A and B are shown apart, each in its own frame.
Chain A
Amino acid sequence: MCSRPEPREPLRHVAVIGGTHGNEMSGVYLAQYWLQAPGELQRPSFSAVPVLANPAATAACRRYVDCDLNRAFTSAFLTARVHPDDPYEAFDFVLDLHNTTASMGTCLIAESAHNIFAMHLCRHKLQSPELPCQVFLYQLPGEESYSVNSMAKSGLGLELGPQPQGVLWADLLVRMRALVATALDFIQLFNQGTAFPAFEMEAYRKVSSVDFPRTEAGDLAGNVHPQLQDQDFEPLRPGAPIFRMFSGKDMLYEGESTVYPVFINEAAYYEKDIAFLQTEKLMFSVPALPMLAP
């Protein structure tokens, strides 16, 4: 696990990426709009660049064409290519816009609490009372980073839900647009020489994933229990029901400790054999983000 030092230079090259998954429509639609009207992404110290990450998947309104773009950015994959032509390497910071069918509300996704700049950005957003949000850290200790935003020096994923694939809901769109504006404002504050003190913050860190119950043939044998559906970030205690079998029987959570499930019943995760992710709720101490040297 590599810890990311705080930036020493102003962040001049910032990208806002929509359509990493072509059927997650809030980011797709905003990126398409900003490509035509980029003024909204400008700040005095930089101009963020809108990117439509996967135009072929967007045109087909599918998550991906051949394989999942958001899981392909490992070094093995990149070095395997004859011409590693990475569009994001040049960026100092990347905002990656996603939707989920799970009831995740507004979720900020960083790889780990070691990403100090991203953690400060999360904190900045959490302080805005009209945009309540949660912070999810997806990297397991020792796990290599594989998201689009890992290619930039720093980055943050915005995950808004619930929203079906292929659908645009106005309230989510408005919320995502406001989040992007807040993030760009934060980068502007940093670039113009604002220091941010150390703080403690609650966040949800990934522990493991849980698959659906399956038949011997690998087909689903049940679905997410009505008592777990839409309960993202709520405590799941030992003995609580997690699946309802098609036979009518309930399956219970047999772990020993309370966990906090997220991405419950996300459409795109059926093929990844994930019914939900288990997280632990932890308090993190994040060091100060010092003022840029003038």
Chain B
Amino acid sequence: MTYHVVEDPIKKVAIFGGTHGNELTGVFLVKHWLENGAEIQRTGLEVKPFITNPRAVKKCTRYIDCDLNRVFDHGNLGKKLSEDLPYEVRRAQEINHLFGPKDSEDSYDIIFDLHNTTSNMGCTLILEDSRNDFLIQMFHYIKTSLAPLPCYIYLIEHPSLKYATTRSIAKYPVGIEVGPQPQGVLRADILDQMRKMIKYALDFIHNFNEGKEFPPCAIEVYKIMEKVDYPRNENGEIAAIIHPNLQDQDWKPLRPEDPVFLTLDGKTIPLGGDCTVYPTFVNEAAYYEKKEAFAKTTILTLKAKSIRSSLH
């Protein structure tokens, strides 16, 4: 017995850059597409490139008052507009007005949000919902198209960690994270990789809208378990740094006895616990203030049913 999920065709897509103003690949791809968008247009589809945090982009800083990528919850989006609100909360309300409202029929179908990391994560797609057949199919298509270049899928579904991301106002939110790239720097290799990810994503949507049927598929994903902070002294200062054996080892198996931190006295601190995990966001610059040295993940396989567009 085959069982199709029939979905409406995709009409409105947005590509966000500059949600963090010092992650330059998305900033410059979006600026380029605003000038010359031929490469992101597909027949019958509205694709809108958009700079989400222009003030942070201008200053080449992650944010002005607070992280824009953590304020798209109904609490912040519903706050009464006032000058006292952090810039990013006011901006989030504007973005929600333009591309949302979140959880409504009028919101954009898909938002791609372009990010960079200082971690060695390669091409990473971020999934927020493990039961989303459409996005699992899309990620499967992007991963297959990028091969042999690896593409990792990070599932951030978690009972207590809630992100309230900028892209979460769309029906299908897609995070695109490419690294390693320092903040405030543009690398040609990283730019090429991100550009390809967007190309294949738009090709997938185009094929779907044209009536192509995508057979059932399965993808391997890395699901977040927990975040791990740096060891700290009594003043809250970092007392140890990422061990050289762990640096750049994102997505690689990390066993309980493997070293994770090194102190300036030369002491090595192992992972501990009793299971192998897969670390990611290892030594991300922006996460020092979030008290996250790396995140532990576990590998799962997600299956998607066959999908096709309802027009055909």
Residues of A within 8 A of B (CB): 29, 32-33, 37, 61-62, 101, 162-171, 173, 219-220, 223-226, 229, 244, 246-247, 265-268, 270-271
CA distance A266 to B184 in the complex (A): 8
Residues of B within 8 A of A166 (CB): 118, 183, 285-286, 288
Q: Indicate whether B206 reaches chain A with its CB closer than 8 angstroms.
A: no
Assess the B189–A226 pair: CB atoms within 8 A. yes
Assess the A101–B182 pair: CB atoms within 8 A. yes
Q: List 9 A-B contacts (CB under 8 A).
A: A61-B288, A101-B184, A167-B284, A169-B247, A170-B243, A170-B244, A265-B187, A267-B182, A268-B184
On whether A220 and B187 interact (CB within 8 A), knowing A164-B182, A169-B242, the answer reads no
Q: Indicate whether B264 reaches chain A with its CB closer than 8 angstroms.
A: yes
Residues of A within 8 A of B264 (CB): 29, 33, 37, 173
Residues of A within 8 A of B181 (CB): 164
CA distance A170 to B191 in the complex (A): 27
Partner of B184, one of A165, A170, A226, A247: A165
For window 134-183 of B, CB contacts with A under 8 Å fall at 180-183
Assess the A167–B28 pair: CB atoms within 8 A. no
Q: Identify the interface centre among A32, A225, A244, A267: most chain B CB within 10 Å of its CB.
A: A267
Chain B, residue nearest A32 (CB): B237
Assess the B188–A229 pair: CB atoms within 8 A. yes
User: Shortest Cβ distance from A276 into chain B, in angstroms?
Assistant: 12
Q: Indicate whether B185 reaches chain A with its CB closer than 8 angstroms.
A: yes
CA distance A61 to B118 in the complex (A): 15
User: Shortest Cβ distance from A274 into chain B, in angstroms?
Assistant: 13
B281-309 interface code vs A (CB 8 A; 1 in, 0 out): 00111101100000000000000000000
Assess the A167–B118 pair: CB atoms within 8 A. yes
Chain B, residue nearest A215 (CB): B35
CA distance A247 to B195 in the complex (A): 13
How many residues in B have their beta carbons less than 8 Å from beta carbons of A? 33
CA distance A61 to B283 in the complex (A): 15
Residues of A within 8 A of B191 (CB): 223
Assess the A165–B247 pair: CB atoms within 8 A. no
Assess the B28–A220 pair: CB atoms within 8 A. yes
On whether A164 and B180 interact (CB within 8 A), knowing A170-B262, A229-B188, A229-B189, the answer reads yes
Assess the A224–B180 pair: CB atoms within 8 A. no
Assess the A164–B183 pair: CB atoms within 8 A. yes
Q: Indicate whether B10 reaches chain A with its CB closer than 8 angstroms.
A: no
Assess the A171–B247 pair: CB atoms within 8 A. yes
11 more A-B contacts (CB under 8 A) besides A29-B241, A224-B187?
Answer: A61-B289, A164-B285, A165-B182, A165-B285, A169-B241, A224-B186, A246-B28, A267-B184, A267-B185, A270-B185, A271-B60
User: Shortest Cβ distance from B205 into chain A, in angstroms?
Assistant: 23
Residues of B within 8 A of A171 (CB): 244, 247
Q: Indicate whether B4 reaches chain A with its CB closer than 8 angstroms.
A: no
Assess the B184–A270 pair: CB atoms within 8 A. yes
Residues of A within 8 A of B118 (CB): 164, 166-167
Assess the A265–B185 pair: CB atoms within 8 A. yes
CA distance A256 to B191 in the complex (A): 30
Residues of A within 8 A of B242 (CB): 168-170
Assess the B32–A169 pair: CB atoms within 8 A. no
On whether A168 and B283 interact (CB within 8 A), knowing A32-B237, A267-B183, A271-B60, the answer reads yes
Assess the B32–A246 pair: CB atoms within 8 A. yes
B221-246 interface code vs A (CB 8 A; 1 in, 0 out): 00000000000000001100111100
